[in-house]
Amino acid sequence: MHENKQPQFLIHHANDPRFLHLRSLQPPQGRSRTGLYLIEGIRHVARAAEEHAPIQSLFLSPAVLSNPFGKKLAGRLRQSGIPSAQLAPQLYCDLTLAAEPQGLGAVVRQQWFSISDVRPAKGCVWLAVESIDSPGNLGTIIRTAEATGVTGIVVIGANADPYEPTAIRASMGSLFSQRLVRCSAREFTDWARTFDVALVGSSPNRAARL
């Protein structure tokens, strides 16, 4: 009941294993090894909960979390059984790209679908992306895909990472509404031929490969 007022519950040291686990999810190697990723900010956590994303745990900083809605959201998620770690402000700020940290974040499990499980349906539009070098651009694409009613996104190749922190931030929460598929270019073209999918391509080099 008085958890937020008891300093002994705060993680103060950067070498604390719980903080090191959070930090390990920032680079791609940690996300690949664990299948987990970080989200930060009240809007992202709220949207993840709304879309029933698999939230594994919360991390928060009581001294930073001042927004009433954010406090209620954190309390509701903790009451639902999601564990949480409370961080000293300086540690929390190490986990965010925000200029004005909001004090609430979460560890979420990645969700990938197999291309073999995707069955094209009438009226559904899937977006396939390849060679997206900028995580921010990928996040913007994800946000645009949701706004235009795209069913899901096929990420071709291993380079683009929608769970990279900059991509997540740029998606503004749209990430959690999208079905994500990762496959090779060969798997994608074989899938498109198998189901006689109509393809419309674009390329900055005027030579889209279909």
Is the pLDDT at 203 greater than 80? The verdict is no
Is the pLDDT at 1 greater than 80? The verdict is no
Q: Are residues 85 and 128 in the same domain?
A: no
Q: How confident is the model at residue 6 (pLDDT cuts 50, 70, 90)?
A: very low
Could you tell me the CATH number of the domain that includes residue 162? Answer: 3.40.1280.10
Q: Among 32-41, 82-91, 97-106, 191-200, where is mean pLDDT lowest?
A: 191-200
Q: Are residues 82 and 135 in the same domain?
A: no
Output the pLDDT for position 32: 95
Q: Is 179 a domain residue? A: yes
Q: Is 208 a domain residue? A: no
* pTM score over 0.85: yes
Q: How confident is the model at residue 101 (pLDDT cuts 50, 70, 90)?
A: very high
Q: Are residues 19 and 102 in the same domain?
A: yes
Q: Which amino acid is at 104?
A: L
Boundary-marking domain end, from 88, 109, 130: 109
Q: How confident is the model at residue 121 (pLDDT cuts 50, 70, 90)?
A: confident
Q: Are residues 16 and 94 in the same domain?
A: yes
Q: Are residues 93 and 173 in the same domain?
A: no
Q: Is 202 a domain residue? A: no
Output the pLDDT for position 5: 44
Could you tell me the CATH number of the domain that includes residue 60? Answer: 3.30.1330.30
What mean pLDDT is reported for the chain?
Answer: 91
Q: Are residues 148 and 170 in the same domain?
A: yes
Q: Are residues 160 and 99 in the same domain?
A: no
Q: Are residues 73 and 132 in the same domain?
A: no
Output the pLDDT for position 207: 54
Q: Are residues 26 and 90 in the same domain?
A: yes
Is the pLDDT at 51 greater than 50? The verdict is yes
Angle between helices 42-50 and 68-79 (to 10 degrees): 40
Q: What is the mean pLDDT of residues 82-97?
A: 95
Q: Number of folded domains in the chain?
A: 2
Q: Are residues 17 and 91 in the same domain?
A: yes
Q: Is 53 a domain residue? A: yes
Output the pLDDT for position 200: 84
Range of the domain at 190: 115-194
CB burial string 88-106: b at 16+ within 10 A, e below: beebbeebbeeeebbbbbb
Q: DSSP per residue over the chain, as a string?
A: --GGG-GGGEE--TT-HHHHHHHHTSSHHHHHHHSEEEEESHHHHHHHHHTT--EEEEEE-TTT---HHHHHHHHHHHHTT--EEEE-HHHHHTT---SS--SEEEEEE---B-GGG----TT--EEEEE----HHHHHHHHHHHHHTT--EEEEESSS--TTSHHHHHHHTTGGGGSEEEEE-HHHHHHHHHHTT-------TTS----
Output the pLDDT for position 198: 83
Q: Is 29 a domain residue? A: yes
Q: Are residues 13 and 50 in the same domain?
A: yes
Q: Are residues 119 and 101 in the same domain?
A: no
Output the pLDDT for position 143: 96
Output the pLDDT for position 4: 42
